Structure 1
Amino acid sequence: MNSAALLIDAYGRIKEEVHSAVEGLGAAELNARLDPGANSISWLIWHLTRVQDDHVCEVAQVEQVWLADGWAGRFGLPFADEDTGYAHTATQVGRVTVDSGQLLLGYYDAVHEQSVGFIRDLRDKDLDRVVDESWTPAVTLGVRLVSVIGDDLEHAGQANFVRGVLERR
Protein backbone atom coordinates (compact mmCIF):
# COMPACT_ATOMS: atom_id res chain seq x y z
CA MET A 1 0.00 0.00 0.00
CA ASN A 2 1.40 3.40 -0.93
CA SER A 3 0.89 6.65 0.99
CA ALA A 4 -1.97 7.86 -1.21
CA ALA A 5 -3.89 4.62 -0.68
CA LEU A 6 -3.31 4.82 3.06
CA LEU A 7 -4.57 8.42 3.19
CA ILE A 8 -7.61 7.55 1.05
CA ASP A 9 -8.44 4.74 3.48
CA ALA A 10 -8.22 7.16 6.42
CA TYR A 11 -10.42 9.75 4.69
CA GLY A 12 -12.89 6.94 3.93
CA ARG A 13 -13.08 6.20 7.65
CA ILE A 14 -14.01 9.82 8.29
CA LYS A 15 -16.82 9.46 5.76
CA GLU A 16 -18.12 6.34 7.52
CA GLU A 17 -18.15 8.13 10.88
CA VAL A 18 -19.84 11.23 9.46
CA HIS A 19 -22.58 9.16 7.87
CA SER A 20 -23.11 7.10 11.03
CA ALA A 21 -23.50 10.30 13.06
CA VAL A 22 -26.04 11.90 10.70
CA GLU A 23 -28.09 9.27 8.85
CA GLY A 24 -31.63 8.77 10.08
CA LEU A 25 -31.73 11.85 12.32
CA GLY A 26 -34.17 14.70 11.96
CA ALA A 27 -33.57 18.39 12.45
CA ALA A 28 -34.40 18.26 16.16
CA GLU A 29 -31.67 15.70 16.88
CA LEU A 30 -29.12 17.23 14.51
CA ASN A 31 -29.52 20.68 16.06
CA ALA A 32 -29.87 19.55 19.70
CA ARG A 33 -27.26 20.61 22.22
CA LEU A 34 -26.67 18.58 25.36
CA ASP A 35 -26.30 21.85 27.26
CA PRO A 36 -26.17 25.51 26.21
CA GLY A 37 -22.39 25.44 25.74
CA ALA A 38 -22.22 22.12 23.88
CA ASN A 39 -21.74 21.52 20.17
CA SER A 40 -24.60 20.07 18.16
CA ILE A 41 -24.20 17.31 15.60
CA SER A 42 -24.99 19.92 12.93
CA TRP A 43 -22.17 22.19 14.07
CA LEU A 44 -19.67 19.34 14.50
CA ILE A 45 -20.26 17.91 11.03
CA TRP A 46 -20.40 21.35 9.38
CA HIS A 47 -17.18 22.37 11.14
CA LEU A 48 -15.18 19.23 10.33
CA THR A 49 -16.31 19.51 6.71
CA ARG A 50 -15.36 23.19 6.53
CA VAL A 51 -11.91 22.42 7.98
CA GLN A 52 -11.33 19.60 5.48
CA ASP A 53 -12.60 21.77 2.62
CA ASP A 54 -10.43 24.72 3.65
CA HIS A 55 -7.24 22.81 4.39
CA VAL A 56 -7.26 20.36 1.49
CA CYS A 57 -8.30 22.96 -1.07
CA GLU A 58 -5.52 25.26 0.12
CA VAL A 59 -2.82 22.63 -0.45
CA ALA A 60 -4.46 21.45 -3.69
CA GLN A 61 -4.65 25.07 -4.84
CA VAL A 62 -8.30 24.81 -5.86
CA GLU A 63 -11.40 26.74 -4.83
CA GLN A 64 -13.27 25.44 -1.81
CA VAL A 65 -16.34 23.33 -2.51
CA TRP A 66 -18.16 25.61 -0.02
CA LEU A 67 -17.94 28.45 -2.53
CA ALA A 68 -17.45 26.74 -5.89
CA ASP A 69 -20.52 24.54 -5.55
CA GLY A 70 -22.77 27.04 -3.76
CA TRP A 71 -22.90 25.31 -0.38
CA ALA A 72 -22.46 28.61 1.48
CA GLY A 73 -25.71 29.84 -0.03
CA ARG A 74 -27.54 26.58 0.63
CA PHE A 75 -26.59 26.64 4.30
CA GLY A 76 -27.37 30.36 4.60
CA LEU A 77 -25.32 30.81 7.76
CA PRO A 78 -24.67 34.27 9.22
CA PHE A 79 -20.87 33.97 8.89
CA ALA A 80 -18.23 35.15 6.47
CA ASP A 81 -17.68 32.73 3.59
CA GLU A 82 -14.21 31.81 4.87
CA ASP A 83 -15.46 30.92 8.39
CA THR A 84 -14.70 27.31 9.33
CA GLY A 85 -16.08 27.40 12.85
CA TYR A 86 -12.66 27.64 14.47
CA ALA A 87 -12.99 29.30 17.90
CA HIS A 88 -16.75 29.71 17.59
CA THR A 89 -18.54 30.89 20.70
CA ALA A 90 -21.52 29.00 22.11
CA THR A 91 -23.79 31.56 20.46
CA GLN A 92 -22.17 31.03 17.07
CA VAL A 93 -22.41 27.25 17.46
CA GLY A 94 -26.15 27.65 18.03
CA ARG A 95 -26.51 29.47 14.72
CA VAL A 96 -25.47 26.39 12.73
CA THR A 97 -28.74 24.58 12.18
CA VAL A 98 -30.04 22.41 9.37
CA ASP A 99 -33.48 21.20 8.29
CA SER A 100 -32.16 17.73 7.43
CA GLY A 101 -29.06 15.59 7.37
CA GLN A 102 -29.11 15.64 3.57
CA LEU A 103 -27.62 19.13 3.55
CA LEU A 104 -24.77 18.11 5.86
CA LEU A 105 -24.09 14.87 4.02
CA GLY A 106 -24.35 16.47 0.60
CA TYR A 107 -21.70 19.02 1.49
CA TYR A 108 -19.52 16.47 3.28
CA ASP A 109 -19.67 13.98 0.39
CA ALA A 110 -18.74 16.69 -2.14
CA VAL A 111 -15.73 17.70 -0.02
CA HIS A 112 -14.75 14.06 0.47
CA GLU A 113 -14.80 13.43 -3.29
CA GLN A 114 -12.66 16.48 -4.00
CA SER A 115 -10.21 15.54 -1.23
CA VAL A 116 -9.85 11.95 -2.43
CA GLY A 117 -9.46 13.15 -6.01
CA PHE A 118 -6.51 15.28 -4.94
CA ILE A 119 -4.95 12.61 -2.73
CA ARG A 120 -5.29 9.88 -5.38
CA ASP A 121 -2.72 11.61 -7.61
CA LEU A 122 -0.12 12.16 -4.88
CA ARG A 123 3.22 10.41 -4.87
CA ASP A 124 5.16 9.69 -1.70
CA LYS A 125 7.69 12.45 -2.45
CA ASP A 126 4.84 15.01 -2.69
CA LEU A 127 4.10 14.59 1.01
CA ASP A 128 7.41 16.27 1.92
CA ARG A 129 6.43 19.55 0.22
CA VAL A 130 6.27 22.40 2.75
CA VAL A 131 2.79 23.96 2.72
CA ASP A 132 2.95 26.25 5.77
CA GLU A 133 6.08 27.96 7.00
CA SER A 134 4.34 29.81 9.85
CA TRP A 135 4.96 26.85 12.19
CA THR A 136 8.21 25.50 13.63
CA PRO A 137 8.93 23.07 12.18
CA ALA A 138 7.31 24.01 8.90
CA VAL A 139 4.23 21.95 8.00
CA THR A 140 4.51 19.52 5.10
CA LEU A 141 1.68 18.32 2.90
CA GLY A 142 1.75 14.94 4.64
CA VAL A 143 1.50 16.51 8.08
CA ARG A 144 -1.37 18.77 6.95
CA LEU A 145 -3.35 15.86 5.49
CA VAL A 146 -2.84 13.77 8.64
CA SER A 147 -3.80 16.76 10.80
CA VAL A 148 -7.13 16.99 8.96
CA ILE A 149 -7.70 13.27 9.54
CA GLY A 150 -7.07 13.65 13.28
CA ASP A 151 -9.29 16.71 13.64
CA ASP A 152 -12.11 15.27 11.55
CA LEU A 153 -12.13 11.92 13.33
CA GLU A 154 -12.19 13.68 16.70
CA HIS A 155 -15.21 15.77 15.72
CA ALA A 156 -16.99 12.84 14.04
CA GLY A 157 -16.50 10.85 17.23
CA GLN A 158 -17.97 13.72 19.24
CA ALA A 159 -20.98 13.82 16.89
CA ASN A 160 -21.49 10.08 17.34
CA PHE A 161 -21.24 10.52 21.11
CA VAL A 162 -23.92 13.24 21.03
CA ARG A 163 -26.09 10.96 18.90
CA GLY A 164 -25.70 8.16 21.42
CA VAL A 165 -26.70 10.40 24.32
CA LEU A 166 -29.72 11.69 22.42
CA GLU A 167 -30.82 8.16 21.50
CA ARG A 168 -30.66 7.10 25.15
CA ARG A 169 -32.80 9.99 26.41
Structure 2
Amino acid sequence: MTRELASSILADGFDRVRETVAEILEATPPAGLRWQPSAGSNHIAWLVWHLSRVMDDHIVGVTAVLDGGAPPAGGQEPAPAGQVWHLDWADRFGLPYAVDDFGLGHTPDDVRAFPAVDAGLLDGYHAAVQERAAALLERLEPADYSTICDLRWDPPVSIGVRLASVLNDATQHAGQAAYVKGLFDRGISRPAGDS
Protein backbone atom coordinates (compact mmCIF):
# COMPACT_ATOMS: atom_id res chain seq x y z
CA MET A 1 0.00 0.00 0.00
CA THR A 2 1.35 3.40 -0.87
CA ARG A 3 1.79 6.10 1.73
CA GLU A 4 -0.73 8.23 -0.10
CA LEU A 5 -3.39 5.54 -0.01
CA ALA A 6 -2.81 4.57 3.63
CA SER A 7 -2.71 8.16 4.77
CA SER A 8 -5.78 9.12 2.73
CA ILE A 9 -7.81 6.26 4.20
CA LEU A 10 -6.83 7.23 7.74
CA ALA A 11 -7.38 10.93 7.02
CA ASP A 12 -10.85 10.20 5.68
CA GLY A 13 -11.67 8.23 8.82
CA PHE A 14 -10.48 10.97 11.16
CA ASP A 15 -12.34 13.58 9.04
CA ARG A 16 -15.54 11.56 9.47
CA VAL A 17 -15.07 11.50 13.25
CA ARG A 18 -14.49 15.27 13.15
CA GLU A 19 -17.70 15.82 11.17
CA THR A 20 -19.69 13.60 13.55
CA VAL A 21 -18.36 15.37 16.63
CA ALA A 22 -19.06 18.82 15.17
CA GLU A 23 -22.59 17.86 14.14
CA ILE A 24 -23.42 16.38 17.56
CA LEU A 25 -22.10 19.37 19.45
CA GLU A 26 -23.82 21.89 17.18
CA ALA A 27 -27.19 20.16 17.50
CA THR A 28 -27.16 19.38 21.23
CA PRO A 29 -28.54 21.93 23.70
CA PRO A 30 -26.48 22.58 26.85
CA ALA A 31 -28.78 20.36 28.93
CA GLY A 32 -28.09 17.44 26.61
CA LEU A 33 -24.30 17.57 26.88
CA ARG A 34 -24.24 16.06 30.38
CA TRP A 35 -27.46 14.06 30.15
CA GLN A 36 -27.04 10.35 30.94
CA PRO A 37 -29.53 7.68 29.90
CA SER A 38 -28.64 5.80 33.10
CA ALA A 39 -26.58 6.55 36.19
CA GLY A 40 -23.68 4.47 34.89
CA SER A 41 -23.70 5.84 31.34
CA ASN A 42 -21.24 8.23 29.75
CA HIS A 43 -22.60 11.56 28.57
CA ILE A 44 -21.82 13.42 25.35
CA ALA A 45 -19.44 15.96 26.91
CA TRP A 46 -17.34 13.24 28.56
CA LEU A 47 -17.33 11.07 25.42
CA VAL A 48 -16.14 13.91 23.17
CA TRP A 49 -13.51 14.98 25.72
CA HIS A 50 -12.30 11.40 26.14
CA LEU A 51 -12.03 10.59 22.45
CA SER A 52 -10.19 13.87 21.90
CA ARG A 53 -7.81 13.23 24.80
CA VAL A 54 -6.97 9.72 23.56
CA MET A 55 -6.31 11.09 20.07
CA ASP A 56 -4.18 13.90 21.49
CA ASP A 57 -2.10 11.61 23.69
CA HIS A 58 -1.55 8.92 21.06
CA ILE A 59 -0.94 11.22 18.09
CA VAL A 60 1.72 13.08 20.07
CA GLY A 61 3.23 9.75 21.14
CA VAL A 62 3.59 8.68 17.50
CA THR A 63 5.01 12.07 16.55
CA ALA A 64 7.59 11.83 19.35
CA VAL A 65 8.85 8.50 17.98
CA LEU A 66 9.00 9.88 14.43
CA ASP A 67 11.03 12.79 15.78
CA GLY A 68 13.62 10.37 17.20
CA GLY A 69 12.23 9.71 20.67
CA ALA A 70 12.32 6.26 22.22
CA PRO A 71 9.04 4.35 22.29
CA PRO A 72 7.60 3.79 25.78
CA ALA A 73 8.93 0.51 27.15
CA GLY A 74 7.16 -0.17 30.42
CA GLY A 75 6.08 1.04 33.76
CA GLN A 76 4.28 4.30 34.29
CA GLU A 77 5.50 6.39 31.38
CA PRO A 78 5.07 10.17 31.53
CA ALA A 79 2.54 11.67 29.14
CA PRO A 80 4.12 12.57 25.80
CA ALA A 81 5.15 16.23 25.66
CA GLY A 82 3.48 18.56 23.20
CA GLN A 83 -0.14 17.55 23.62
CA VAL A 84 -2.62 20.21 22.53
CA TRP A 85 -4.35 19.67 25.89
CA HIS A 86 -1.37 21.07 27.79
CA LEU A 87 -1.09 24.22 25.66
CA ASP A 88 -4.12 25.91 27.21
CA TRP A 89 -7.09 23.58 26.92
CA ALA A 90 -6.62 21.93 30.34
CA ASP A 91 -6.88 25.31 32.08
CA ARG A 92 -9.88 26.31 30.01
CA PHE A 93 -11.77 23.11 30.84
CA GLY A 94 -10.94 23.17 34.56
CA LEU A 95 -11.65 19.47 35.05
CA PRO A 96 -11.42 17.76 38.44
CA TYR A 97 -8.97 15.16 37.05
CA ALA A 98 -5.19 15.00 36.93
CA VAL A 99 -3.86 17.08 34.03
CA ASP A 100 -2.60 13.99 32.13
CA ASP A 101 -5.83 12.03 32.65
CA PHE A 102 -7.65 11.03 29.49
CA GLY A 103 -10.49 9.03 30.99
CA LEU A 104 -9.11 5.48 30.98
CA GLY A 105 -10.69 3.64 33.89
CA HIS A 106 -13.09 6.41 34.84
CA THR A 107 -15.94 5.34 37.09
CA PRO A 108 -19.54 6.58 36.82
CA ASP A 109 -18.71 9.04 39.62
CA ASP A 110 -15.78 10.39 37.58
CA VAL A 111 -18.05 10.89 34.58
CA ARG A 112 -20.66 12.69 36.70
CA ALA A 113 -17.88 14.95 38.08
CA PHE A 114 -17.22 16.29 34.57
CA PRO A 115 -18.38 19.92 34.82
CA ALA A 116 -20.78 21.73 32.54
CA VAL A 117 -18.70 23.03 29.65
CA ASP A 118 -19.65 24.90 26.52
CA ALA A 119 -20.11 22.87 23.33
CA GLY A 120 -17.81 25.34 21.57
CA LEU A 121 -15.00 24.50 23.99
CA LEU A 122 -15.37 20.77 23.34
CA ASP A 123 -15.54 21.39 19.60
CA GLY A 124 -12.52 23.68 19.63
CA TYR A 125 -10.38 21.15 21.46
CA HIS A 126 -11.39 18.33 19.15
CA ALA A 127 -10.72 20.50 16.08
CA ALA A 128 -7.22 21.33 17.40
CA VAL A 129 -6.48 17.64 17.97
CA GLN A 130 -7.81 16.76 14.51
CA GLU A 131 -5.49 19.37 13.00
CA ARG A 132 -2.52 17.64 14.67
CA ALA A 133 -3.67 14.24 13.39
CA ALA A 134 -3.94 15.57 9.83
CA ALA A 135 -0.43 17.06 10.05
CA LEU A 136 0.96 13.74 11.25
CA LEU A 137 -0.67 11.82 8.40
CA GLU A 138 0.77 14.29 5.88
CA ARG A 139 4.32 13.60 6.98
CA LEU A 140 4.23 9.79 7.18
CA GLU A 141 6.38 7.82 4.77
CA PRO A 142 5.64 4.17 3.83
CA ALA A 143 8.30 2.77 6.18
CA ASP A 144 6.91 4.78 9.09
CA TYR A 145 3.82 2.59 9.32
CA SER A 146 5.91 -0.37 10.51
CA THR A 147 8.00 1.67 12.96
CA ILE A 148 7.46 0.52 16.55
CA CYS A 149 5.94 3.28 18.68
CA ASP A 150 5.09 1.35 21.88
CA LEU A 151 7.02 -1.52 23.46
CA ARG A 152 4.57 -2.05 26.33
CA TRP A 153 2.49 -4.56 24.38
CA ASP A 154 3.15 -8.06 23.03
CA PRO A 155 3.61 -7.80 20.13
CA PRO A 156 5.01 -4.25 20.19
CA VAL A 157 2.74 -1.67 18.55
CA SER A 158 3.64 -0.20 15.17
CA ILE A 159 2.60 3.26 14.04
CA GLY A 160 0.15 1.74 11.55
CA VAL A 161 -1.51 -0.36 14.24
CA ARG A 162 -1.58 2.56 16.69
CA LEU A 163 -3.26 4.88 14.18
CA ALA A 164 -5.85 2.22 13.27
CA SER A 165 -6.51 1.68 16.97
CA VAL A 166 -6.93 5.41 17.67
CA LEU A 167 -9.30 5.77 14.72
CA ASN A 168 -11.31 2.76 15.89
CA ASP A 169 -11.57 4.16 19.42
CA ALA A 170 -12.57 7.63 18.19
CA THR A 171 -15.18 6.18 15.83
CA GLN A 172 -16.74 4.09 18.58
CA HIS A 173 -16.93 6.98 21.03
CA ALA A 174 -18.35 9.36 18.42
CA GLY A 175 -20.99 6.74 17.67
CA GLN A 176 -21.77 6.41 21.37
CA ALA A 177 -22.17 10.18 21.63
CA ALA A 178 -24.54 10.14 18.65
CA TYR A 179 -26.56 7.37 20.29
CA VAL A 180 -26.84 9.28 23.58
CA LYS A 181 -27.92 12.37 21.64
CA GLY A 182 -30.61 10.31 19.91
CA LEU A 183 -31.94 9.10 23.26
CA PHE A 184 -31.90 12.64 24.64
CA ASP A 185 -33.69 14.00 21.57
CA ARG A 186 -36.42 11.39 21.95
CA GLY A 187 -36.95 12.22 25.61
CA ILE A 188 -35.98 8.76 26.78
CA SER A 189 -36.03 8.70 30.57
CA ARG A 190 -34.03 6.60 32.96
CA PRO A 191 -35.53 3.37 34.25
CA ALA A 192 -37.32 3.68 37.60
CA GLY A 193 -34.91 3.37 40.50
CA ASP A 194 -31.84 4.27 38.41
CA SER A 195 -30.26 7.14 40.28
Indicate whether 1:159 and 2:177 are aligned: yes
What's 2:86 paired with? 67
2: distance between equivalents of 1:7 and 1:121? 13
How large is the Cα RMSD of the aligned pairs?
1.1
What's 1:38 paired with? 41
What's 2:110 paired with? 92
Q: Percent identity?
A: 39
What does residue range 76-155 of structure 1 map to in structure 2 within 5 Å? 76-155=94-173
2: distance between equivalents of 1:71 and 1:82? 12
User: Which structure 1 segments of 5+ residues have no match?
Assistant: none
What's 1:25 paired with? 28
TM-score, with structure 2 as normaliser: 0.83
TM-score, with structure 1 as normaliser: 0.95
2: distance between equivalents of 1:58 and 1:81? 16
User: Which structure 2 segments of 5+ residues have no match?
Assistant: 65-80, 188-195
Count of equivalent residues:
168
1: distance between equivalents of 2:94 and 2:117? 12
Q: Give the C-alpha shift of residue 98 in structure 1.
A: 3.1
Runs of 4+ in structure 1 off by over 3 angstroms are: none
1: distance between equivalents of 2:117 and 2:82? 26
Indicate whether 1:16 and 2:19 are aligned: yes
Query: Per the alignment, in what secondary structure is the counterpart of residue 100 of structure 2?
Result: coil
2: distance between equivalents of 1:24 and 1:146? 28
